[in-house]
Structure 1
Amino acid sequence: MDVTNIQTSEKEVSDHPVQATTALISDGVSSEFDGNEVRAAEVTFRPGERTKFHAHPGVQILYVTEGVGIVANRNGEREVSEGDLILFSPGEEHWHGNKKDAESQFSHVYFLTEPEDEELEILESP
């Protein structure tokens, strides 16, 4: 068993390559099983921040914890808010983030299950 208290774990500001504007703020946990890496983190986007289009080799699930944001794939955009659960299928090109005219931050927890020998594919900015 591996238990991590996300409330008290050290916060990290990173210059993640998926980010289209400034750094993501995240904290999370990681473990491995059955040849897959499983990760979870809470990510906060300030107004106007969003990821670039990207695709994961595994499943990505987002759970919105604060604010109103946007999730999108090649077929369109959806506004999401606290309590929404979003599923991106393996290989689905998508982006997520805060609205350009937002007055507050947008946060979600992501859960990723990916084969440990495959990498995230980063594409263009939306």
Structure 2
Amino acid sequence: MDVTNSAEKHEWDHQVQVTAALLSESVESEFDGNTVQSAEVTFRPGERTKFHTHAGVQVLYVTEGEGIVATRDKEREVSQGDLIVFPSGEEHWHGNTEDATSSFSHVYFLAESGDGELTVLESP
């Protein structure tokens, strides 16, 4: 068993972010050659990611507010309690709307073999 706690949020620049730095709390663990990462990410109004893919499965659980998740083929509004699963290699983005009046937060879980690979594409 591996238990990790992240008690404080911090801002950090990430290559997948379109606008300002991410507000995030994160943990990471490794077992049997697989890496599992988790973080709570907060998008302020108008903030979102670029299109990107992961080498593994990414699961999002919406914890606060309303936001957007999208693939090349469809875009969905999501809200607190929604669970979103992006299969390995699926091009997607997620974030807040331009006209939002509050933040949008989700916890992500990313399970990948080895070091994993994030591929950052263009902005939506």
Q: 1:34-77: per-residue Cα shift (whole Å, max 9, x none)?
A: 21110000000000000000000000000000000000000010
**Structure 1: 5+ residue runs without aligned partners?**
none
Where in structure 2 are the equivalents of 1:34-113 lying within 5 Å?
A: 34-113=32-111
RMSD of Structure 2 on Structure 1 (CA): 1.0
For 1:56, the aligned partner's letter is H
Answer whether contact 2:56 2:89 (CA < 8 A) is retained.
yes
User: Normalising to structure 2: TM-score of the pair?
Assistant: 0.96
The alpha-carbon deviation at position 115 of structure 1 amounts to 1.8
Question: What is the distance in 2 between the residues matched to 1:71 and 1:90?
Answer: 16
Answer whether contact 2:35 2:116 (CA < 8 A) is retained.
no
For 2:9, the aligned partner's letter is K
For 1:48, the aligned partner's letter is G
Percent of matched pairs sharing the same residue = 71
Question: What is the distance in 2 between the residues matched to 1:46 and 1:54?
Answer: 19
User: Normalising to structure 1: TM-score of the pair?
Assistant: 0.94
Question: What is the distance in 1 between the residues matched to 2:71 and 2:123?
Answer: 12
**Structure 2: 5+ residue runs without aligned partners?**
none
Residue number in structure 2 paired with 1:2: 2
Runs of 4+ in 1 over 3 A off after TM superposition: none
Answer whether contact 2:16 2:49 (CA < 8 A) is retained.
yes
